[in-house]
Amino acid sequence: MFIYRVNLTTKKVTKEEVSGKLQALGGRALTSTVIANEVDPLCHPLGPKNKLVFAPGLLSGTSAPSSGRLSVGAKSPLTGTIKESNAGGLAAIRFAKLGIKALIVEGQSPELVLLKINKDGITIEDASEHKGKGNYELNKVLPEKYGSKVAVITIGPAGEYKMTSASIAINDGDYHPTRHAGRGGLGAVMGSKNLKAIVIDDTGASGVPIADPERFKAAAKAFSKMLIDHPVCGQGLPTYGTAVLINILNEAGGLPTKNFRVGRFDGAEKISGEFIHKIITERKGKTTHACHPGCVMRCSQVYNNANGDYLTAGFEYETIWAFGSQCSIEDIDAIAKADRFCDDLGLDTIEMGVTMSVAMEAGIIEFGDAEGMLGLFEEIKNGTPLGRVLGNGAKFLGQAYGVTRVPVVKGQSIPAYDPRAVKGVGVTYATTPMGADHTAGYSVATNILKVGGHINPLDKAGQVELSRNLQIATAAVDSTGLCLFVAFCILDNPDALPAVVEMLNAQYNLTLTLEDVTELGKYVLKTEREFNNKAGFTSKDDRLPEFFKEEFPPHGVKWDFTGEELDELFNW
Amino acid sequence: MFIYRVNLTTKKVTKEEVSGKLQALGGRALTSTVIANEVDPLCHPLGPKNKLVFAPGLLSGTSAPSSGRLSVGAKSPLTGTIKESNAGGLAAIRFAKLGIKALIVEGQSPELVLLKINKDGITIEDASEHKGKGNYELNKVLPEKYGSKVAVITIGPAGEYKMTSASIAINDGDYHPTRHAGRGGLGAVMGSKNLKAIVIDDTGASGVPIADPERFKAAAKAFSKMLIDHPVCGQGLPTYGTAVLINILNEAGGLPTKNFRVGRFDGAEKISGEFIHKIITERKGKTTHACHPGCVMRCSQVYNNANGDYLTAGFEYETIWAFGSQCSIEDIDAIAKADRFCDDLGLDTIEMGVTMSVAMEAGIIEFGDAEGMLGLFEEIKNGTPLGRVLGNGAKFLGQAYGVTRVPVVKGQSIPAYDPRAVKGVGVTYATTPMGADHTAGYSVATNILKVGGHINPLDKAGQVELSRNLQIATAAVDSTGLCLFVAFCILDNPDALPAVVEMLNAQYNLTLTLEDVTELGKYVLKTEREFNNKAGFTSKDDRLPEFFKEEFPPHGVKWDFTGEELDELFNW
């Protein structure tokens, strides 16, 4: 296993054998370590001193189920913090099979380039012909040129414009750009380096070495069965995808509606997972779909338009919420088109949905105006001044138009669970080193889904501890390449985490214990937080916007944590 | 003396006798104390919890020469820090003569209002008829309605749009809106409160009580003579205004040109104070002009257009630099028109000039394109999306267009002295609680003008101490209502500061010593810095952008202070 380092200023490519502590790190643990060790916390995120790191997880490329997550790390231009954003798709597996533990992209190319990676190494190629192309077109032309089975990592126009909502797209098994390292504007970092695409061809790759294949296989098989047997991982997600959460959160009064004004949406039924399932079936799409080979949860789907033609895939709860109830929009086809725009232009759907709601707040369009919303994507596509404002996210648009009701933490939009009605996830939003991010410590599981026990979502009690434990566990899971959704099973089934540890030990000939997993999670959080401190962040940044002190219907709950209570999260 | 408190949410006006420590505070010391005591450092600057405080200086309204500065304080929407921005004009004197030590504006009015202040009190009046009006029109219609001698404090469209470059305008003795609390976007705070104007009529006011009039008069007379006898205060400023600095800084290689790329401008002569003096004379303007009655330095001027009609006044060095060499523009009439736009729309000229240079960096217009620059002001005036981006300042425009060469500290544009070629003022930019601000510790005096001694501007040695001492002294001067330019005299003449102390003692029946002045300055800085710390600022924010590590022609100097060296500033 080795690390590739590509300097786009000097055009130098180096291959470094992995040694020391880095050997036992993968995914988020590796990207955050490299960023913390090598990037000046005070540098401009879009300047030449920032680095962009891609790292498959420790288990990626193996037969471990649902292990194909790719971590992408950098200093975020959206939040100014360290950032790890991870996604499924084909890339992590390809990296791993080529023996690549990480790809570190440094410097800035004066002209648009792409990286071609195969078993022989990395070449830097001119990409000027691809300037301005959307991700869908790139996913057509790049495989045509470089081989039909390549994984492609791309940025759309938003990344080229260096918009701080820009994502990095990764193709799925249908060779569509539907998986995104969405959060934190990492597409803008890639754009600032003038890197349009990374094409990965693992033909002839030696594959991932496993120290004890039999032992690994047994553990992987056992873990896979546990996932399939779990009601969320094995039934809920494969049937309805993540959109199953619309009705659940609406029922719980925690579905943020009309820019976090109320927790229930009159149009919830029309954007629900159950309703989408019906439409997909009628239009002969796919109700279940894996974002990468080897995933047993298959939470994705293929959503066709009314003519039965492919429209989008990877159409997730957060996206549906963001362009749906958050914007008071109940037109699911319009929401799917917004998702398609984001996938194509290369934009984070959560950030863009919240940005649209703030545009409604500003009076640029009205709440509920689906056509108006889709029109605004044309502005982004064309890089007009209004498009630039929109593409830089909710906080930015709020400042441009003097709007103060802007739901962000550390500049990043708060996702699809109201922090007042689901207090555990509110604690995560406030305190994670990532800026508001539900995936950093998904307390929704225990607050709402009653996975891993139950803690009353409306009450403060126990939420800091819950979020702390989940943040630690998540930082570890994000390092394995396993999809975060395996956590539902891990939280409920005491045999699941030992099976993960067993896979790691069998693959790497290690003697890890459960305690080591916790220590890894703590190490990751500590590393990230230290970076942020050096970048000037303090506990004062671990706070929600003041409007969350308003009462939130239907439960009449308020955000009532003191700063001191939140600061306890990192006191372990 | 008393404080007026106006709550625009409840429409309640209260009059509070000043007691305790507040009695001995004025100007910046008073605004910063009120903000620090009463405003949540984590509140949104444009939300209802921010407050806007107006305070004349301790000597304002008396016969002390050049004592008519008004301090305006709030949490800044541009920087996120505490902010004091001060300006000349008629308002401070009117406030003082009415016995008003401070006006604190709280809450937010749902509809556009103005405050009418006279000897009988304060009334809140509907101002909907003035919506969208520029400052020049307001300065015509408000005196027509409220009396020809009123002082008016107003915001233009930029403030109504809540742009973070918006200023608060104060009329001069010609009843033109040429004096501005420019820095930090305080106009947006006024706009967020829906407060369009404050009209102050001191008819029948009892005037400022002086405990010992004879003693005061003697000290004021002596101080006045010292100012008149000083070469900068008594000759340079009254003759050429502050624009005399263009040739001086150009000669010193410290005049930032083409967005801080080089320290000399080929077109310097055409924008110099000497050249402007010639044009003003030819066009029958005024080469010298006081921004308020009682100023002996009279650094302002009236600049007519080619037809001999009034175009603008208060046409300062920083403005001429910002729209001139910073943008590679040598058309002085275009620069004067830009100044007029800023005065009328209510915008900080420094922030806007730097923003224009960043717009040039982004390719929106070309460097040197004077007509293009004036066209962009129309965008701001009309509140177009591009206008919103421009009106939110240089950092904001940089983010919108992915430009990293953005000269700001704490989000506020660096003014007209390159920090590499005038290192003492660079230390001030980095460390003042205000964000980049030359007036917070004008080391240019000692680095370039050889006032108060001489410290080599190109060398690090002694600059931190110089900036520290000047920041302390400035915080005290900003509390007296005296124009900062009296500092030239204070630095050179050992009798000057004692005369100021004598005036204060005679007016208030105090026994202040020179040491007390230093202590006041330290108290102000400490108060401001504590607010910033509570708002989440750390020493990491006391840094210049990384591009200042580039070599700067003609002297080939770099910004070479370490963080540790800068952090010594507050170690006293």
pLDDT tens by residue, B199-225? 999 999 999 999 999 999 999 999 999
ipTM value? 0.95
Contact A247, A272 (CB under 8 A): yes
Whether residue B87 contacts residue B70, with contact meaning beta carbons closer than 8 Å, is answered with: yes
Q: What is the mean pLDDT of residues A48-59?
A: 98
What sign has the CA pseudo-torsion B476, B480, B484, B489?
Answer: negative
With cut-offs at 50, 70 and 90, classify the pLDDT of residue A512: very high
From the list B44, B386, B399, which residue is nearest A546 (CB)? B44
Residues of B with CB under 8 A from a CB of A: 40-44, 46-47, 49, 77, 161-164, 188, 191-192, 384-386, 388-389, 392, 396, 399-402, 404, 534-538, 540-541, 543, 545-546
Q: If you average pLDDT over residues B272-286, what whole number do you get? A: 97
Q: Cβ neighbours of residue A235 under 8 Å, at least 6 residues apart? A: none
Tens-digit pLDDT profile for residues B399-443? 999 999 999 999 999 999 999 999 999 999 999 999 999 999 999
Mean pLDDT of A519-530: 98
What integer pLDDT is reported at residue B400 of this predicted model? 98
**pLDDT tens for residues A329-359?**
999 999 999 999 999 999 999 999 999 999 9
**Is residue B553 within 8 Å of residue B262, measured between CB atoms?**
yes
Contact A74, A51 (CB under 8 A): yes
Give the mean pLDDT of B94-107: 98
In DSSP notation, B66-92 reads T---EEEEEE-TTTSSEEEEEE-SSHH
- For residues A349 and A182, the answer to whether their CB atoms sit within 8 Å is yes
Q: What is the pTM of this model?
A: 0.96
Beta-carbon contacts of A553 under 8 Å, excluding residues fewer than 6 positions away, are A253, A261, A262, A263, A264
**pLDDT tens digits along A532-570:** 999 999 999 999 999 999 999 999 999 999 999 999 999
Give the C-alpha distances (Å, rounded to integers) separating A566 from A141, A560, B43: 49, 10, 17
pLDDT of residue B21: 82
Which of A188, A537, A538 has the CB atom closest to B402's CB atom?
A188
Asked whether the beta carbons of residue B402 and residue A540 sit closer than 8 angstroms, the reply is no
Q: How far apart are the first and last CA of chain A?
A: 34
Residues with Cβ within 8 Å of A222's Cβ and at least 6 positions away in sequence, in order, are A495, A499
Q: Say whether B196 sits in a helix, a strand or coil.
A: strand
SS (H, E, C) A114-153: EEEEECCEEEEEECHHHCCCCHHHHHHHHHHHHCCCCEEE
Q: Which residue of A has its CA nearest to B387?
A: A385
CA dist., res. B67 & res. B295, Å (int): 7
How many alpha carbons lie under 13 Å from residue A304 in its C-beta half-sphere? 15
Does A537 sit within 8 Å of B536, measured CB to CB?
Answer: yes
Q: From the DSSP assignment, how many helices (H) and strands (E) are in chain A?
A: 22, 17
Bond from prior residue into B554 cis (ω within 30 degrees of 0): yes
Residue B53 φ then ψ, to 5°: -120, 130
d(C-alpha B317, C-alpha B339), whole Å: 11
- For B541-561, b/e burial (b = at least 16 CB within 10 A) is bbbbbbbbeeebeebebebeb
CA dihedral angle for residue B344, residue B347, residue B350, residue B351, rounded to 10 degrees: -150
Is a pLDDT exceeding 90 seen at residue B174?
A: yes
Count contacts between A and B (CB, < 8 Å): 90
pLDDT tens per residue across span B453-488: 999 999 999 999 999 999 999 999 999 999 999 999
Q: Does the pLDDT at position A261 exceed 90? A: yes
- What does the mean pLDDT of chain A come to? 97
Whether residues B546 and A42 touch (CB distance < 8 A) is answered with yes
For residue B402, list chain A residues with Cβ-Cβ distance below 8 A: 46, 161-163, 188, 191-192
Q: Which of B239, B215, B216 is nearest to B228 (CA)?
A: B239
pLDDT given for residue B19 in this prediction: 83
d(CA B169, CA B151) in angstroms, rounded, equals 11
Give the Cα separation of B92 and B71 in Å (integer).
Answer: 8
> Best of A388, A409, A547, A548 to disrupt the B interface by mutation (most B CBs within 10 Å)?
A388
Residue with the two structure tokens 């890089």: A383
Strand partners, A82: A75
Chain B residues with CB under 8 Å of A161 CB are 402
- Residue B348: the pLDDT is 98
Res A324: pLDDT = 98
Token pair 């650094």 is found at B299
Long-range contacts from B37-40, C-beta under 8 angstroms, 24+ separation: B38/B104, B39/B74, B39/B75, B39/B531, B40/A546
Based on its alpha-carbon atoms, the radius of gyration of chain B, rounded to whole angstroms, reads 21
B259 CA: distance to closest CA in chain A (Å): 17
Q: Which of B41, B42, B540 sits opposite A535 (nearest CB)?
A: B540
In one-letter notation, the amino acid at residue A558 is K
Please report the sign of the dihedral spanned by the C-alpha atoms of residue A312, residue A318, residue A321, residue A322. negative
Of B40, B188, B546, Cβ closest to residue A402: B188
Residue B38 vs residues A474, B15, B109, B202: alpha-carbon distances, Å? 40, 17, 19, 28
Q: What structural domains does chain B harbor?
A: 2-200 (3.60.9.10)
Residues of chain A whose beta carbon is less than 8 angstroms from a beta carbon of chain B are 40-44, 46-47, 49, 77, 161-164, 188, 191-192, 384-386, 388-389, 392, 396, 399-402, 404, 534-538, 540-541, 543, 545-546
User: CB-based contacts of A77: which residues, under 8 Å, 6+ apart?
Assistant: A45, A46, A162, A164, A184, A185, A188, A189, A192, B399
Q: Which amino acid is at B295?
A: C
B538 contacts on A by Cβ (under 8 Å): 536, 538
pLDDT, tens only, B10-66 = 999 999 999 888 888 999 999 999 999 999 999 999 999 999 999 999 999 999 999
CA distances from B45 to A435, B160, B196, B398 (A): 20, 14, 17, 21
Residues B25, B479: Cα–Cα separation, whole Å: 7
- Single-letter residue type at A320: I
